[in-house]
Amino acid sequence: MNQSTHINRQITLAARPNGAPIQSDFKLVESPVPTPADGEMLLRTRYLSLDPYMRGRMNDAKSYADPVGLGEVMVGGSICQVEISNHADFEQGDLVVAFGGWQDYCVSDGVGVIKLDKTMQNPSYGLGVLGMPGLTAYMGLLDIGKPQAGETLVVAAATGAVGSLVGQIAKLKGCKVVGIAGGQEKCDYAVHELGFDACIDHRATDLDEQLVQACPDGIDIYYENVGGKVFDAVLPLLNTKARVPLCGLISQYNATELPAGPDQMGLLMGNMLVKRIKMQGFIVFDDYGHRYKEFQDAMVPWLLSGQIKYKEDTVTGLEQAVTAFIGLLQGKNFGKLVVQVGPEQLDLGAKL
């Protein structure tokens, strides 16, 4: 956490990946700490969120958001401290959620910035259980999945930032919950700590058979954030009028071509028609940003009461962000991945 009072370290996109990102696709550069104009504020990054969607933003392809340009700072949500404020709604020392990206400092005009409680014990939670992943889990499950007591829900990446919350909320709603995760340690955590009814290692050679055994009554809700072979195993088990909220496809983010094998589109469409399956994709802030307070009003009491458990995987130092991000796409993280970029307090001295 070597934050300077006058140098702004930035991790920029140096090249567009061909498949999985590598270290040379990124570049660490330095520039002077920017100066905010009237109506602006200088934000210093304390925590940076690393999320799978960032891989898509590295491609020069049409999507729901513009790609990161070559030489531009990598995008990302951040917990920041206001160091200088020329903005009427914010003051020095305020703690905020912003979209500052992979850098020590940024200037903001306040658009999209959410003020947090300065005394918040775990500010990084604003990037996870109380932030975008939490909102994604909550709204995707409850608004699209519409769980009913007694139904069976399956969620992949079951110990990740979104999947772990999806499963716990579904349990609170009275569902049977089956997780799919990478490795026995994660599966044990899902069952013994998060309260899932079962969890299957997606690396198992008999994934399909284990899923059948874990879901003898079929699957009513499949919360999709992985795709690939996991969805292939889930599809035959989906019940009539099953719901499939779709928030991500991490198994495909590094793909450079369509998967080998037969075209499965006909099988998918046939199942959706005959079983009247509802599959709906969503972009969380575009579709549900206006319901953020509703989500927080529910999640905060669950978290404080211990009904929802939350695990962070924290790395220290902006310079570790690239390695951590590459590991995220390989499933090496355990919990919500955040980078602690800077300390709680920094003496900016006379430089600012």
Q: Report helix, strand and coil shares of the chain as percent, to nearest 5.
A: 30, 25, 45
Task: Inform me whether the pLDDT recorded for 312 exceeds 50.
Answer: yes
Amino acid identity at 56: G
CATH 3.40.50.720 fits 134-291+296-302, yes or no: yes
Distance CA 205, CA 115 (A): 47
More confident residue, 274 or 326: 326
Residue ranges with strand state E in 225-322: 238-246, 278-281, 312-316
Dihedral over Cα of 169, 170, 176, 178: its sign: negative
CB 181 within 8 A of CB 157: yes
Spatial contact of 107 and 43, defined as CB atoms under 8 Å apart:
yes
Beta pairing class for 152-156 and 176-181: parallel
Q: Which fold has domain 7-128+311-351?
A: Quinone Oxidoreductase; Chain A, domain 1 (3.90.180)
State which H helix or E strand residue 164 sits in.
helix 163-172
Lowest-pLDDT range of 21-35, 207-221, 241-255: 241-255
Average pLDDT over residues 319-340: 93
CA distance 88 to 74: 28
pLDDT digits (tens, 9 = 90+) for 172-192: 999 999 999 999 999 999 999
Encoding tokens for residue 67? 């790609």
> Which of 140, 330, 300, 116 is CA-nearest to residue 223?
140
Per the CB < 8 A criterion, the answer to whether 102 and 132 are in contact is no
How far is CA 150 from its chain centroid? 28
Name residue 32's beta-bridge partners: 7
Length of the chain: 352
Give the tens place of pLDDT for each residue, 128-158: 999 999 999 999 999 999 999 999 999 999 9
What is the per-residue pLDDT for 119? 76
| Domain edges within the chain | 7-128+311-351, 134-291+296-302
Model-level pTM? 0.85
